[in-house]
Amino acid sequence: MIRQGFIPSIFNYCDQWCSRCSKSTQCRFFANEQEQHLVDVEQNIKSEELYIKIAENLSDAIGILEDLSSKFGINLNDLLPGPPPTLPESHNDLINQATIYGMEVNQWLNEFQNYVIHTFELTGDNGKLSFPVVIEAVDVIRWYSILIGAKISGASYRLDEEDEYNMTGSAKVALIGLDRSMDAFTKILTEMPQYEDSILVFLAKLAIIKQEVNQLFPDADSFKRPAFD
């Protein structure tokens, strides 16, 4: 059901960075999250008691299901979903590249950010280093580091679902993450050219991933996201 004031399906084509989104007040997903947070706070749910109750209910449900399946001669294993679809090698390679990039860049960011904070706090050297610009760039790179691979994977696994619209939309968000990450790396390079070697490596990786996303999802770049584009 479409609730008044919300843009239908806007949350399917965003980067999930709600705190920075200008459309959050028009997003049903964000509203639901906020409402649930308020409910949790007001009720002061005791986690241990809640988990015990859930476990008891689940155990009862499993017992009932097993009894019914035995009574009617149903093999529960036959009801399990099959394995995920096999992706073309090109898609698997792209997902792997994005996943490896995410792991490598987070490791590098941890070391880099510790150095920046240490330098800023001990020397206060603002003349040569624009600290807010660098930290903002780090936040951007870190946010998209995992999202890029997740969106590429989501788009790839829609190949067999005949869901071209959502497939292309997911690929578009991946492209946005790639562009913003490359822009953030460029800002760091401008402020701290001593990191040129490692930054250029990551820029090259991102450029290759972007090129392959455009090849495998040729309509992604021109995709118009509801309310965003």
- pLDDT for 39 equals 46
- pLDDT for 67 equals 65
Domain boundaries, the chain: 27-80, 89-216
- pLDDT for 1 equals 40
Rounded distance between C-alpha atoms, residue 182 and residue 187, angstroms:
9
Compute mean pLDDT per 10 residues along the chain, 229 residues long, and list them.
60 71 69 59 52 62 66 64 73 93 93 76 53 87 93 85 80 94 95 92 97 94 76
Helix (H), strand (E), coil (C) string for the chain: CCCCCCCCCHHHHCCCCHHHCCCHHHCHHHHHHHHHHHHHHHHCCCHHHHHHHHHHHHHHHHHHHHHHHHHHCCCHHHHCCCCCCCCCHHHHHHHHHHHHHHHHHHHHHHHHHHHHHHHHHHHCCCCCCCHHHHHHHHHHHHHHHHHHHHHHHHHHCCHHHCCHHHHHHHHHHHHHHHHHHHHHHHHHHHHCHHHHHHHHHHHHHHHHHHHHHHHHCCCCCCCCCCCCC
Class of domain 89-216: mainly alpha
- pLDDT for 50 equals 56
